[in-house]
Amino acid sequence: MYLLDQNIIFPNVEDADKDGLLAIGGDLSPERLLLAYKKGVFPWFNENDPILWWSPDPRFVLFPGKLKVSKSMKQVLRKADFTVTINEDFLGVIKACAIAKREGQSGTWITDTMVQAYLKLHQLGYAKSVEVWQKDILVAGLYGLDLNNGVFCGESMFTKVSNASKVAFISFIQNTNYKLIDCQVYTKHLESLGAEEITRDAFLKFLK
């Protein structure tokens, strides 16, 4: 376990423990966050806890060419009941993600400090949001970081309407040219869409 100080550096990711925890402390400045993601590290911590930095092995990712779209979802997409936009309401998306209820979790890791940190990254052109609208109402979305190297690091998503978050995810992937989507850690929901686990070493090669 490494304790970070004011210096914007990270230890070797191979020093992470078996759960992927690498370091504690530091801050959420744009400079530190960008360095973290470029090294395969991301922050994840509960409200009132210190900042925890993770680099799990294996890593959960999606190769866009392996995206799975079910017949029922193809029908949903064809119906065009939703309008999908990019970067139209980043703040609305991240705040909705923060309050979304998730099975097995209480509270949120998307604290006010996190919101402000990623909002700065959005203003700098790194953090992106995908919005799904239904009759001008924001009903789903996702956000993450574009590292400008063909990798998009997904952070969180939310939905208020059935299938709407899948619409956001699928539409984003089908209309962008990323070589890899970083999903960080396993979820059954993203596995159903084609995400898979690869070794941390393999993931780091994509980052380079």
Q: Which amino acid is at 156?
A: S
Tokens standing for residue 92: 């609305």
Smallest CA-to-CA distance from 156 within 103, 107, 87, 109 is with 109
**Residue 47, pLDDT score:** 81
Smallest CA-to-CA distance from 198 within 28, 48, 3, 60 is with 60
Across residues 111-126, what is the average pLDDT?
Answer: 96
Across residues 15-26, what is the average pLDDT?
Answer: 97
**Residue 100, pLDDT score:** 86
The band of 101, judged by pLDDT with boundaries at 50, 70 and 90, is confident
Do you find a cis peptide bond into 56, omega within 30 degrees of 0?
no
Tell me the β-bridge partners of 159: 140
The CA-atom distances, in angstroms, between 127 and each of 7, 50, 53, 68, 144 are 23, 23, 18, 25, 5
Using the predicted structure, report yes or no on whether residue 103 has a pLDDT greater than 80.
Answer: no
The CA-atom distances, in angstroms, between 196 and each of 126, 183, 188, 192, 203 are 25, 9, 10, 9, 12
Residue range 31-71, pLDDT digits in tens:
999 999 999 999 999 888 999 999 999 999 999 999 999 99
Residue range 149-172, pLDDT digits in tens:
999 999 999 999 999 999 999 999
Pick the more confident residue, 107 or 118: 118
**Residue 48, pLDDT score:** 83
**Residue 102, pLDDT score:** 56
Q: Which domains does the chain have, with CATH numbers?
A: 2-56 (3.30.70.3550), 60-207 (3.40.630.70)
**Residue 39, pLDDT score:** 97
Note whether 129 and 143 are within 8 A (CB). yes
**Residue 109, pLDDT score:** 77
**Residue 50, pLDDT score:** 93
Tell me the β-bridge partners of 52: 24
Using the predicted structure, report yes or no on whether residue 4 has a pLDDT greater than 90.
Answer: yes
**Residue 207, pLDDT score:** 94
The CA-atom distances, in angstroms, between 42 and each of 1, 54, 202 are 15, 5, 17
